[in-house]
Each structure stands twice: as C-alpha cells, then as structure tokens.
Amino acid sequence: MSYNLLKGKKGIIFGALDENSIAWKTAERVKEEGGEFVLTNAPIAMRMGSIQELAKKTNSEIIPADATKIDDLENLVEKSMEILGGKIDFVLHAIGMSVNVRKGKHYTEQNYDFTQKGWDISAVSFHKTMQVLYKKEAMNEWGSIVALSYMAAQRVFPDYNDMADNKAFLESIARSFGYFFGKDHKVRVNTISQSPTPTTAGQGVKGFDGFIAYADKMSPLGNASALECADYTVSLFSDLTKKVTLQNLFHDGGFSNMGVSLEVMNSFIKGQEEQ
C-alpha cells in the first residue's frame, strides 16, 4: 500500500547490495511512496551485488563512491543534486563492515589495521558523509538522515566483535552531528537499531542464525524484517516525523526492553529437565 508520503522528495541511498539488504528494500519502498533517489555503493560492492537491477527497477541512477573518501563523497553529492535537480531531502547510510570478523579474528586478538579500516567504513564514513552534505548546504530544511545500527552498541553480543564498537561510535556521531545539522539547517539525524536481519553483511557474523532465533523468541512481536525496517525508514524520511532527531530508535519487536520471555525461559527449563 502506498500513502504518497515522499512525493517530490529526493535523496541518496547508500549500501544496496542485493534484494536481502535493507537499503534495497528501502529504495523500493521510497519509490512506491513517490520519492526519487540516487543509489550509491563502493565500486567493489557494486561488482559483488546486483545494484544495476535495482536501478532499472526504480528508474534511478548509480554513482559509485567509496564512503571513506571525501573526494568521492563530494562528487556523489554534487552529481546527485545535478541528477535530482536540487537539494536533498533524505539520506540512508546502510554500510558497515568488519575486516576482523571477515578474517576470523577474535575480539581479544584484533588486528588494529583491520579495526581501523572497519571503523572508517562503518562509522567515520557517516561523519564524512554528513560533513560533505553540511559544508555544501546540500540538504533541504526538514531533511532527514538515517543510519542503520544494532543493539550490540549497548549490550554484549560476543560474536558481534568490533562491529559493536563501530555501531556505538556511529550512534554517537548521529547525536553529535545531528545537533549541528538541526541547529544550523533544520535537518534531523537518527539511527535505527534494527532486529538481527539475514542480510549479506549480517550473515558474515559467526552464530548469526542463533542471534536471529534467540531475538525472535525474546521479542513479543518477533523480529522486524528488512521490509518492515524499510517502512520505518520511510516514516523517518517523511514529514510526519519532523521533530524526531538525535535518537537511536529501536525497531526490534520489543527485544530491547525485554529481560526474558516465557519461550526462552521454557526452553531452559525443558533443557534442564531433559538432563
């Protein structure tokens, strides 16, 4: 169902890789709600994924950009404004990567070059993106910038590794930069802390199937899907949330406020009885 929530709005969507990705689903939903956008991803990710298919489907142009490079980001913002014919109303930052996770390095045995690279891609790139948008005054008033996070920023999920630190840093950047963007340009900045979602990035984390099953049993409404996250993102891009800023918004079926659920408790009791 479409409500025309984003009619006339223009934006940039980072990180669509394949149809499992939240950015991909968001692009589809934004299009359905009347929004226009430019798609962007790192050149290497573009070779791995099927972003061309999404561009065709949503009638969008693609501008390759390494989000850790200021020159690439400046080119992205300038070209996006040319293509879209004006300033930008919304941005989705849906990128994150841990080299330590990919290379199987335990949290207590990090390779710090890997740590720095992951930190740059997953968190500092958000600051760089906003700095370019801010300096170029590229955002319309009441524009909306959203980045995707995960609850490991606040609580311990041992196998999430240094991505937990990256997400904590990402959320802090959203608050700190969000203050200046709000004060100076009336732009809102938020992060969405999503349920564990079986995306290409998510599935790279050890024991991820366990995360998903546990979170689903813990959450009164069950896990939020990628499509449901796209719906929530659309609401944050719309004019219905003009005063929501500096927030880390949990979109997780209630998981973040649970201590324990009956299902999880019962599985433990059952396990003990069987011993």
Q: Provide the annotated active-site residues.
A: 150, 160
Distance CA 145, CA 179 (A): 12
Distance CA 115, CA 113 (A): 5
Q: Is 15 annotated as a binding residue?
A: yes
Q: Is 198 exposed, middle or buried (0-12, 13-18, 19+ CB in 10 A)?
A: middle
Residue 263, classed as helix, strand or coil, is: helix
* 3 Cα distance to chain centroid: 23
Q: Is 63 annotated as a binding residue?
A: no
Q: Is 259 annotated as a binding residue?
A: no
Q: Is 95 annotated as a binding residue?
A: yes
CB 215 within 8 A of CB 171: no
Order of strands across the sheet that contains 10-14: 61-62, 36-40, 10-14, 88-93, 139-149, 188-194, 248-251
Q: Is 270 exposed, middle or buried (0-12, 13-18, 19+ CB in 10 A)?
A: exposed
- The DSSP 8-state label assigned to residue 240 in this structure reads G
Q: Is 122 annotated as a binding residue?
A: no
Which residues does the annotation place in the binding site for NAD(+)?
Answer: 15, 21-22, 95, 167
Which residues does the annotation place in the binding site?
Answer: 15, 21-22, 95, 167
